[in-house]
A and B are shown apart, each in its own frame.
Chain A
Amino acid sequence: MSRLILHLDMDSYFASVEQQAQPSLRGRPIGVTGRPTERSIITAFSREAKRYGFHAGIPVWEAQKRCPELVLVPGHPERYIDTTKRFLEILKEYTARLEVYSIDEVFMDVTQEAERHGGAVAMAHEIQRRFLGALGPWITATLGIASGKVFAKLIGKRFKPDGVGLLRDEDLPELLRRTPVGDVCGIGPRIEKRLAQLGIRTLRDLGETSESLLRREFGVYGLFLHSIGRGCDPTPLVPYTDVPPPKSVGHSKSLPPELRDMPLALLVLHDLCEQVAGRMRKLGYVGRTVHCGFRAGSIGPHAAKQITLALPSDDGDVIYRACEAILDAIPSHPSEVSNVAVSVGNLTERDRLPDLLFEEDRRRDRLNGAVDRIRTRYGSQAIRRGSSFLLKPLPPHVGGFLPETWEF
């Protein structure tokens, strides 16, 4: 029996949540941003704004030039995460084989369940009705149904917003003929360019290209490309219950103009190191490889290096000292940076390590434990490094998704 995969994609998600919460925003072009200033970027647009051809990542000044009536709305990440948890609770009632692809996209394998609901299309409409009752009329979803994830996502795109698309077998050849390779999730601009150099522009072209050529050009990935070109998506659905352990834990921050001087940027970096360390302790990991980078100026190149610690650690100060050593090793230091990032990889479960040998390390460990307990009880801002009080509070990160921020 071939699979029945449902792809659910929330429509203009962040913006629609804001419009649901604030009736004065409904029907208007809105842009959701971290800080509504000229130099910020816009994370999400409403349907009305998308008619101007906007896409996420456009700077505020450019968007306002093209659409003077655009309303800037500060984002509320907790609102989006909570709404996602609510719709996931509804979807879990349909199948346990549910892959949370992002904060606003889900894949569901309903091969066995669809019939109970009158078929996959009827099930999709039922989900939309339940969302209407549970989330409100302005938060809608589009669903695509096909035998594989890639094609479910592709067919759903054509029925946006608030639609249901079903890819029948007899429609597949037409879809392959009309779909540019760049439209496929998993084929980025660089691969698209390389394919174009081989004369491959559509999925049908891909399917008609020999498997051996694609393997030679792209390795194992070439098998995936060939398969997609023939209308077959072998990608497995990874249920939320089977998510693999993290390979690294990291944070990055885009800096507002007043924090771009190097000394201030380092204060932000120190804060990020504390956050990364706190998350690692919560997940029960220590790490050995510290990766640190920054972007020079407003649109300059990104510079990054990594370092391996002598001993694995989950301490924010240790991670920060490693970052300092990394920055010292980068030959040129700009006077101004617009983005700082840190991540720790080469993770090991903390329980697998022997007890700490030295009293100084055990003292630090007890201190970290106490800080974590205070933050768990009273919130993340309840206790902070003294130096972080020199910084104005940065807006919450809008966009992206941290799976460990929720349990369900």
Chain B
Amino acid sequence: MNARAGTPIDALVVYRRRQSHPELRTFFWQTRRVDVSRTNLVHTEREGETTYLVYAVSSGKDHFDLRFDTRRGRWTLEKVDFDLRLDMRRGRWTLEKVDVGD
């Protein structure tokens, strides 16, 4: 699996009238479409004059950290948290938990 912090991605968002940040609905990472089932936390970071919105979201049991550069309007994937388990009987890997990023 390849995922480095800062991987550019495409994202679908909704801008709601009374919300201070866009709501992330879906993003596309490698060949995967990831539908966001829950936004756990959004916070702001600043680097000089650039403001970033950092999203911690879940898609089912998988969790992702994404960053939105408000100056350039770009989304990047920062952290991925899957579960990975080896089924010894069938000799098969099932995606359960892997930490990528940081």
Contact = CB atoms under 8 A, between A and B. Distances in A.
Interface of A: 17, 20-24, 74, 78-79, 82-83, 136, 375-380, 382
Contact of A375 (B48, B63, B102): B48
Contact of A82 (B44, B47, B58): B44
B69 interface: no
Contacts of A17: 41
A382 B48 contact: yes
A84 to B, nearest CB: 10
Given A376-B48, A378-B48, A379-B48, A24 B40 contact: no
28 contacts: A20-B40, A20-B41, A21-B40, A21-B56, A22-B56, A22-B63, A22-B81, A23-B40, A23-B63, A24-B81, A74-B102, A78-B44, A78-B46, A78-B54, A79-B43, A82-B43, A82-B44, A83-B41, A136-B40, A375-B48, A376-B49, A377-B49, A378-B48, A379-B47, A379-B48, A379-B50, A380-B48, A382-B48
B10 interface: no
A83 B43 CA distance: 7
Contacts of A136: 40-41
* Top-4 shortest CB links A-B: A379-B47, A21-B56, A82-B43, A379-B48
Contacts of A74: 102
Contacts of B97: 24
A24 B60 CA distance: 12
A24 B56 CA distance: 12
A253 B73 CA distance: 36
A356 to B, nearest CB: 27
A79 B44 CA distance: 7
Contacts of A22: 40, 56, 63, 81
- Majority SS of interface residues in chain A? helix
A215 B41 CA distance: 51
A130 B94 CA distance: 40
Nearest to A378: B48
Given A74-B102, A136-B40, 11 more contacts: A20-B40, A20-B41, A20-B56, A22-B63, A24-B63, A79-B54, A136-B41, A376-B49, A377-B49, A378-B49, A380-B48
A70 B15 CA distance: 39
B78 to A, nearest CB: 11
Contact of A78 (B45, B48, B49, B65): B45
Interface string B34-77: 00000011011111111000101010000101000000000000
Interface in B1-59: 40-41, 43-50, 54, 56, 58
A220 B54 CA distance: 49
A224 B102 CA distance: 49
A40 B97 CA distance: 27
Nearest to A76: B43
A24 B46 CA distance: 27
B41 A21 contact: yes
A375 B81 CA distance: 33
Contacts of B54: 78-79
